[in-house]
Structure 1
Amino acid sequence: MRRRIHKTPERLASVRIDAVAAEGKCIVRTDEGVIFVDNPTGGPGVAPGDLVDLRITNRKKQYREAVAEHIHEWSPVRAEPFCEHFGTCGGCKWQHIQYSEQLGFKHQQVVDHLTRIGKVTLPEIRPILPAHPTQYYRNKLEFTCAEGRWLTTREVNTDQLIDQRAVGFHVPGRFDKVLPIHHCYLQPDPSNAIRQAVNDYVFAHGLTLYNLKAHTGFLRTLIIRTAATTQQVMVTLQVAQDNPEILNELLTYLQTTFPQITSLNYILNTKKNDSYQDQEVINWAGKPYIEEQMDEADGPPLTFRIGPKSFYQTNAQQAHNLYKITREWAGLTGRERVYDLYTGTGTIALFVARRAKQVVGVEYVEASVADARINAQVNGITNTTFVAGDMRDILTDGFFDQHGRPEVVITDPPRAGMDEAVTRQLLKASPERIVYVSCNTATQARDLGILDEGYRVANVQPVDMFPHTHHVENIALLVKR
């Protein structure tokens, strides 16, 4: 039998963190190439300007990966993290960096992707639009209720028996470990109070939580949605066992304790994963939806109904700014036919409809299309058509003949960007303008490189939708050559 040879880990002493790279990792540039530095769970995080000791964890042909073992000198761009869970929780990983510096890193990420990947000629990129507020900005959070609590070092080393139940967030890289959250700065009241009440109820009444390995237990997830403009609150519990008595007692407790809950729902999910788009949602009390509104200068506010399965931008305040820029760049005069691709529940389509002749929204998820049609009806908008199906199959010459060729296309695809076949069809359709909204500038840059055959990039506006994370939205205006 061969003896396994344990190599001594490669280490680098006193190196300076240079910048932030994609996905929020930091980078160090050396004579041997680039090193990507990750933040291990439980650590303070590294920031550009830190002087650190590194341990190499992986060596690739073109780069190396490392973690910081010791920080000798703190960067001047650092900030004091405001959350006690920073470093262990998977969210808000940039709390230790000043917000103004975060904006600069995100802006540079947009520039780098569009120039290095897209290789297109760009105008001067506008300064990134900051978010306000930078805390309590999310309208939806999903908490995992599970057996498999993340233990601190002190708890691991104790001889005492520790309860493994937890209501909180997954620890990065560990599907089976959940960090109990005491206070979260992502969602406004009453989110923290509802989550804590569920947590207290679980322990007071001995409820079993779902075991992610053994697939046993009762309560799986707690989903809270809050509407910024109407203050309506939706709570949805996902359970793994059909036990009406236990479920009704818990739902009654929530209804009594929180009269501000306007939509109370549950899902019985006996699958081995928590995805619920294919599951039936039971409306136990209140309405089966909440409503969010967007003010309009040229008409009454738009009202959007949001169900338990609906997609709606999680930062509603900043989404309004995003949509206003999108509509402005569409250059609508009331005579245009607009295609809104990846329309979701029709938020952008309905937002631009009052200034267009006709809007055609296309979306893969049929439930979202149903929501879009309802939202059009609620707002009395009659010049929209919503179609469900795969974008690659729908955008054909026959579809253009049926609905008319667009003068303007707005596209807001998922992180994977647009399929090349869709991009080619846009070139063939040849609208005057394309407004491309993206949550992943790397795939947006790739698509712009293809569209460069027929369009020039006339304007670029980065938008910060998610403060204290590396994520950035970007709007690009393309004008036909």
Structure 2
Amino acid sequence: MATGQSTIDAGATPMAVPAQAGDNHKQPGKRPFNGGHQRKGAKHRRKQKTFQDGSHEEVLMADIQAMLDSQKIVDDVEGGASAEEEETPLPRKGTEIELEVVELSSTGDGLAKQKGSDHIYVVPFSIPGDTVKAKVYRHNFEEGYTAADFISVVKPSALRDDSRIQCGYFAKCSGCQFQMLDYTEQLKLKRNIVVKAYKNFSRLSPELVPDVLDTIGSPLQYGYRTKLTPHFDAPPGNKRRGPKNAHTFMPAVGFTPKSTRQVLDIEDCPIATDAVRKGLTDERARMAVEYGNYVKGATILLREDTKRIVKASPSDAIETPEGVPENAVRVDADTHVDFKTCITDQNATSTEYIDNFQFTNPAGAFFQNNNSILSPFTAYIREHILPPSSLASTASKPPIKYLIDAYSGSGLFTITQYSLFPGGSIGIDIAEKSIAYARRNATLNGLDESQCRFLAADAPELFKSVSAYNPDETVVVLDPPRKGCDTSFLRQLLEFAPRRVVYVSCNVHTQARDVGVLVRGQQTGGEQKEKKKRTRYEIESIRGFDFFPQTGHVEGVAVLNRVDEA
């Protein structure tokens, strides 16, 4: 099929792609609508929140507000439209309309307009330049936009080539947004997401934010996800209280698509690894036999597990080891053979490798879900965790000796970066179970406590545990959950004042918010003004990493240096 030719129709019988972590976002509250009007020239204002949470709704609204501002839609008369303003009727719920997609939101949704109107529509699975048919399903008057379901492409964007799409459920399942795009174009869009995150959430002057570097792509664009969690609903008719009926037929097993709560049945997922895809097939076969045992809904874990057999020489013939199923996915390399299977027990232990580092985790616990990018990702951290030579050679500064890995989990950075820190690396996490696995992982990789150690502690209290470290000789790596760092942690970080900070994030919007706090800094010291000093940071670099190709998600790495006032 030629580039730009379109065959997408959301009514086609599909195969599914599951939602990524964080894709099933809370939607704005529904409100009844039986027809309505939009004031022409009205600017929509939302109540200002004191805390930016980087949620799907907040990110979407930042993009919509920017689009409204760019259209110079200004409400000059508070409390109502002027006599000259014309009211434009909005289509009723369920109406199918044609829309022209103008921009792409950082949520991965298209921002579109109807010809002759400035009203904004949010349409998933669309890209700038598309003309699409969409069905209106919710008007959000206060926020200034209408949500619409994608139906089909009327006229494709020059960027669209639907022959690239490898999943029949695309444009139904909420997991992927970009399968119609060339991968190079996906990376450009993700760089722009990072740019907008710092523009909208950091509250920093533009001159304080360096140019965002190009997004590092994933070695695999399909077949990369090492964990999926499809689910199925309870039997219809069962109520919270009272007797429960079992399923009388196999329920849909899959993921919840956009704009509905009904589970989308899936048979395969091309972004998952071969082992996980095989596990999905096996679990569906099991459910076809055992569905009558379930009176409730449930989530199914599919987690890749790797058993590695090291070769004595590249020519070694390696047979399937005892205990590994004959149908395990085999991956041959010069130095080893990996046998990959799928775990479905939440409490089982999964194993994976990053280069020659071995990591174990509870199968149901969090660990990065794209193993193919972890080697270049950890290599990038290794290249940037210490100051560049131009800074490291400053005569007044001692060499950095210590690594503090906050939110360390099972030790990804503490272990992969340990060799750079002669004073040792320490990983700190609130979850004792994660710390137990981190210690186990250190042992598996031949590391003792003089090289890396781990401590279970609440992150806001962690700096009390490292008070002996000289901040001038310390780098802190941050990898918090999606909500980012809390204010107490950031305050303590500024008080400790490490020489260098590497902030890794799965939510570039809360990362931008927190980096803004570090760049603005705070006053510390005694009561007298002359005794106070200001701790603040400057941004050395910002770069995105594409952990989830085909989706609108991007992870970020920001490197910061402490500014020492003269």
Same structural fold, with TM-score higher than 0.5 when normalized by the shorter chain: yes
Q: Deviations over 1:134-184 (max 9, x none)?
A: 0010111122244569xxxxxxxxxxx993523323334555x33222221
- The Cα shift of 1:22 comes to 2.4
Q: Deviations over 1:106-142 (max 9, x none)?
A: 1101011112321251223211111121001011112
Counterpart of 1:211 (choices 277, 289, 296) is 296
Identity of aligned residues (%): 25
2:457 is aligned with 1:389: yes
Q: Which runs of 5+ in 2 are unaligned?
A: 1-31, 37-88, 237-246, 310-322, 330-338, 393-398, 521-535
CA distance in 2, matches of 1:355, 1:135: 33
Higher strand proportion (structure 1 or 2): 1
CA gap of 1:202–1:310, structure 2 versus 1, over 3 A, is: closer
CA gap of 1:112–1:208, structure 2 versus 1, over 3 A, is: same
CA distance in 2, matches of 1:69, 1:225: 33
Match of 2:255 in 1: 169
Counterpart of 2:263 (choices 162, 170, 178) is 178
2:148 is aligned with 1:61: no
2:177 is aligned with 1:93: yes
Q: Conserved in 1, the CA contact under 8 Å of 2:210 and 2:540?
A: yes
Q: Conserved in 1, the CA contact under 8 Å of 2:404 and 2:427?
A: yes
Match of 1:284 in 2: none
Match of 1:51 in 2: 131
CA distance in 2, matches of 1:310, 1:62: 36
Alignment of 1:199-348 (within 5 A): 199-204=284-289, 207-212=292-297, 220-227=298-305, 230=308, 258=327, 281=347, 288-295=348-355, 301-331=356-386, 336-348=401-413
CA gap of 1:265–1:182, structure 2 versus 1, over 3 A, is: closer
Q: How many residues align?
A: 408
CA distance in 2, matches of 1:459, 1:256: 46
3-state DSSP class of the match of 1:458? strand
Match of 1:112 in 2: 196
3-state DSSP class of the match of 1:376? helix
Q: Conserved in 1, the CA contact under 8 Å of 2:476 and 2:500?
A: yes
CA distance in 1, matches of 2:517, 2:215: 25
CA distance in 1, matches of 2:550, 2:209: 27
3-state DSSP class of the match of 2:255? strand
Farther off after superposition, 360-369 or 28-37? 28-37
Opposite residue 225 of structure 1, the aligned amino acid is: R
2:100 is aligned with 1:16: yes
Q: Deviations over 1:205-233 (max 9, x none)?
A: 66434533xxxxxxx333222247849xx
CA gap of 1:391–1:32, structure 2 versus 1, over 3 A, is: farther
Counterpart of 2:155 (choices 60, 69, 73) is 73
CA gap of 1:33–1:428, structure 2 versus 1, over 3 A, is: farther
Opposite residue 283 of structure 2, the aligned amino acid is: V
2:476 is aligned with 1:435: no
Match of 1:187 in 2: 272
Q: TM-score, normalised by structure 1?
A: 0.76
Aligned-pair RMSD on alpha carbons? 3.3
Opposite residue 453 of structure 2, the aligned amino acid is: T
Opposite residue 349 of structure 2, the aligned amino acid is: Y
3-state DSSP class of the match of 2:160? coil
Q: Conserved in 1, the CA contact under 8 Å of 2:306 and 2:350?
A: no
CA distance in 1, matches of 2:173, 2:384: 38
2:220 is aligned with 1:133: yes
3-state DSSP class of the match of 2:212? coil
CA distance in 2, matches of 1:134, 1:194: 20
Q: Which runs of 5+ in 1 are unaligned?
A: 40-44, 150-160, 213-219, 232-253, 268-275, 282-287, 296-300
Match of 1:459 in 2: 541
CA gap of 1:408–1:33, structure 2 versus 1, over 3 A, is: farther
Q: Conserved in 1, the CA contact under 8 Å of 2:542 and 2:557?
A: yes
CA distance in 2, matches of 1:133, 1:109: 21
Q: Conserved in 1, the CA contact under 8 Å of 2:248 and 2:291?
A: no
3-state DSSP class of the match of 1:6? coil
CA gap of 1:13–1:183, structure 2 versus 1, over 3 A, is: closer
CA distance in 2, matches of 1:134, 1:467: 5
Q: Conserved in 1, the CA contact under 8 Å of 2:111 and 2:120?
A: yes
CA gap of 1:230–1:458, structure 2 versus 1, over 3 A, is: same
CA distance in 2, matches of 1:411, 1:439: 11
Q: Deviations over 1:345-402 (max 9, x none)?
A: 101110111111211211122111111010011112122221223212x134x33325
CA distance in 2, matches of 1:202, 1:374: 35
CA gap of 1:257–1:431, structure 2 versus 1, over 3 A, is: same
Match of 1:365 in 2: 431
Match of 2:516 in 1: 449
3-state DSSP class of the match of 2:274? coil
3-state DSSP class of the match of 2:467? helix
2:170 is aligned with 1:142: no
Opposite residue 139 of structure 2, the aligned amino acid is: N
Counterpart of 1:83 (choices 150, 167, 191) is 167
2:559 is aligned with 1:477: yes
Q: Deviations over 1:63-122 (max 9, x none)?
A: 212315664321111132210111222212222333222211111010111123212512
Q: Conserved in 2, the CA contact under 8 Å of 1:262 and 1:290?
A: no
CA distance in 1, matches of 2:301, 2:362: 12
Match of 2:281 in 1: 196
CA distance in 2, matches of 1:162, 1:230: 42
CA gap of 1:323–1:27, structure 2 versus 1, over 3 A, is: same
Q: Conserved in 1, the CA contact under 8 Å of 2:410 and 2:435?
A: yes
